[in-house]
Structure 1
Amino acid sequence: MVTLVEFVVLAVVALLAGTLARRAVARRAAGRTTSASAGAVVAVPCQARWRQGARRRFFGYGKLGAGADGTGSVFKAPLRGAVPLPMGGRAAVRESLRPGMRVLEYRAPDGQRIDFQVYDAEAERAARLLGVPDPADW
């Protein structure tokens, strides 16, 4: 009986912690989106994974942001140099296995394939940073 009660208490605490974490992440994402809509250049936190090339086995947490001169985009991981990304490719957004996140599958014009795992609220802004054309503009 005691084990059952401990299991229920542990499940309730885990649910509460998960809910609080998702709300905090959503609040931060909404704040970054508001700042970006006001004209500020705000980097998108994400996890990047290259599918081929020299960085094929690399995946890492970092930020997707605008280039130093304001054009192009770069991926900047902590303690690593900024990696310039090719602009103007295609992107497909799919659900992630992690709740509250989506995977932006990016195909660059030169054939590179890079997956970015971003928060739900920031998937569209990440696609705009990569220069993906909006289908509504066609």
Structure 2
Amino acid sequence: MELLVELVTFVLIGLAVAGVGARARKAVARRARARTASASGGNLVPVPCQARWKQGARRRFFGYGKLTPDTDGTGAVFKAPLRRAVAVPVGGRAAVRQSWRPGMQVLEYSTPDGRNIDFQVYDAEVDRAARFLRIPDPADFA
């Protein structure tokens, strides 16, 4: 009998967690769509993301922050809280793959100078992040 009670409790907790996770993903997707709609109106809206790149020998930087175009419009900037802004070279190549987190994709960006930077962004904001980084559209070369 105790085993049945524990099993039912485990199932109920699992259902509650799944429901909370689904509501959280919907809220995040709704906010991402609102940011994209605001940006289409001409507003400058940063793209929240995670960035990861190699920095120095055997050191990797990993942090949450926002990707924005540079103030002069010639580049992109990644700004993490409590850290100085990092200029990101634009015009490189990118590949997009699914993330392990639902509702997100990884933009694997190769800069023109050979560095590799991974940006984990929401599904609705991959195109805006690519625009900020000025990634050439492959269809332009066909």
The aligned runs of 1:121-132 (5 Å cut-off) are 121-132=124-135
Note if contact 2:76-2:132 (Cα within 8 Å) is conserved in structure 1: yes
Which structure has the bigger radius of gyration?
2
CA-to-partner distance for each residue in 1:36-74, whole Å, 9 max, x for gaps?
Answer: 111111110000000354694110000000112233100
Q: SS of the counterpart of 1:58?
A: strand
CA RMSD in angstroms, aligned pairs only: 1.4
Report the Cα distance in structure 2 between the residues aligned to 1:105 and 1:7, rounded to whole angstroms: 38
- Rounded to whole Å, the distance in 2 between the matches of 1:55 and 1:42 is 34
**Structure 2, unaligned stretches of length 5 or more?**
none
Question: Hey, what does 1:70 align to over in structure 2?
Answer: 73
Query: 2:22 is matched with which residue: 12, 19, 24?
Result: 19
Q: TM-score, normalised by structure 1?
A: 0.94
Specify whether residues 134 and 103 from structure 1 end up closer, same or farther in structure 2 by C-alpha distance, changes over 3 A only.
same
Counterparts of residues 1-138 of structure 1 (less than 5 Å): 1-53=4-56, 56-138=59-141
List gaps (5 residues or longer) in structure 1.
Answer: none
**In structure 1, distance between residues paired with 2:6 and 2:76:** 52
Q: Tell me by how many angstroms 1:92 deviates.
A: 0.2
Please report the TM-score for the alignment, with normalisation by the length of structure 2. Answer: 0.92
Query: What is the total number of aligned residue pairs between the two structures?
Result: 138
Percent same amino acid at aligned positions? 67
Instruction: State the Cα distance separating 1:130 from its structure 2 match.
Output: 0.5
